[in-house]
Amino acid sequence: MEKGKAFLVGAGPGDVQLITVKGLEAIKKAEVILYDRLANPKLLDYAPSDCELIYCGKLPDRHVLRQEMINDLLVAKVLEGKIVVRLKGGDPGVFGRVGEEAAALAENGLSFEIVPGITSGIAAPLYAGIPVTHREFGESFAVVTAHDKSENGQPKLDWNGLATGIDTIAFYMGISNLPYISENLIRNGKSQETPVILIQWGTFSRQQTLEGTLSNIAAKAEEVNFTNPAITLVGDIVSLREKLNWFEKKPLFGKQIVLARTGTDESELARELMEQGADVIEFPKWKRVTVPIDQRVIKRIAEYEQILFTSPESVREFIQVLIAEGIDVRRVKADFYGCSAKSVKALKDKGFFAELEGEMPQHGKLLIVGDREIPLNYDHADRFLTSQKVIDEQFTPIFKRVLEEASVNTIVLPCSISVKTFIEEGILKETIPQQLLKTSEIICMGVKTAEAARQYGMKADMVLESPDKTTVIDRLCRKEAAYV
């Protein structure tokens, strides 16, 4: 069997857009991905639908897989002839143990590449408004581990060199050792009034910061139960934060949104929400499989008076079927409608006039085009499956882990179909905690969506009259928006 190849990839600090081009290309061609807890799981959306995903995450109090097991698994998968991506948070060469993994591959004569990433010790301060170097505040910068392999986990460092020779110091994962760090820096000459900032979940919308000095930061962190993952930045350069704090001023900073999905294509709404500073958890993760074409519908295609498309993908697939079957589109006499603004846009992009589902008359011969998720209240309609959309169950445990660490405060339901999926696949199967329905603002994009939500016992906090991404963004940014 031909040997495979490994790519040891830095996933960046958290913001999904901070992955390198080369790292993203590796993910897109991967057959196996071994990923860590701190690698943003949204990056896995770019992997092929048949890619094997293996969680290697570590928590402070337990290991899912120990490093030796990860090394062995990495070697085994490459020996199977697979393209294997080892996806690690930040930069794999900065406290990422990439040297051990690369050595295991080299010792077995296996091919590998190391793809650098943006390390959190630089990125997290920048997202908190603090460059790690500045001509007026510091010309030297050090990255330091705040833990080592000793029994007490307290690193044996050149404290005198750090205290007297380095202007700015970034300690990785150092919250539990804050008293030890502060004490040693002060003892070796650092002023007890030296500014310190703790940055938790840097570059995510759930980024939290805590400022203090070497003399009081440990007590402050204990008082508010500040935890890892976090960067501890020490130095006078921290004072720049007040002037340069940019990320936390984004209009949707702090918004942690669950966006109910019905399609397999990349979500423009999710992308725009993230651009405005929000964290977005898209649920569920779908993949498509082909189905046989229903020739009975094809033969009667000219008889339908309305055709309702359930997703943008269904528009593309319907046109492909017509072409494959040699059917002139002019034979289709029906008016076109979409279950969402995205579906309507997909139709208009193909040159067809279309309206939203809510504008569709309740009489006439109706064909619903899409997958098995048929909208409520359309029992009389014919159905044409262009493909079968199924939930990618590999992502179920990923969603659960993400939701455990997030503090979701907003739920966005784009269409009536998304409501059904959100409840039946998320809430009822306990992938999504039911408590979120009580603690989150529920936004329904359109009256039909709100009606579907009510049928499942959900009360919308906001019903948008214009169910499009611009209205959602405006509403969440607290601008004027049309709603009822």
Beta bridge partners of 211: 197
- For the question of residue 58 being annotated catalytic, the response is yes
Which residue in 15, 36, 335, 474 is the catalytic one?
A: 36
Cα separation, 348 vs 234, whole angstroms:
55
CA distance 249 to 309: 39
Sequence-ordered alpha helix ranges (H) in 287-388: 295-299, 312-324, 341-349
Letter for the amino acid at 33?
I
Contacts of residue 65, Cβ cutoff 8 Å, sequence gap at least 6: 55, 56, 73
Size (the chain), residues? 484
If we measure between CA atoms, which residue out of 146, 212, 158 comes closest to residue 189?
A: 158
Distances (CA, A) of 418 to 263, 360, 384, 398, 450: 9, 19, 19, 20, 11
* Residue 36 a catalytic site member: yes
> Are 197 and 169 contacting, i.e. CB atoms less than 8 angstroms apart?
no
- Residue 109 burial (CB < 10 Å; 0-12/13-18/19+)? exposed
> Catalytic residue among 5, 22, 58, 287, which?
58
Contact 162, 169 (CB under 8 A): yes
Catalytic residue among 42, 77, 88, 173: 173
Residue type, 403: L
156 is catalytic: no
**Nearest partner of 381 among 291, 305, 294, judged by Cα:** 305
CA distance 275 to 277: 5
Give catalytic residues, as residue numbers. 36, 58, 173
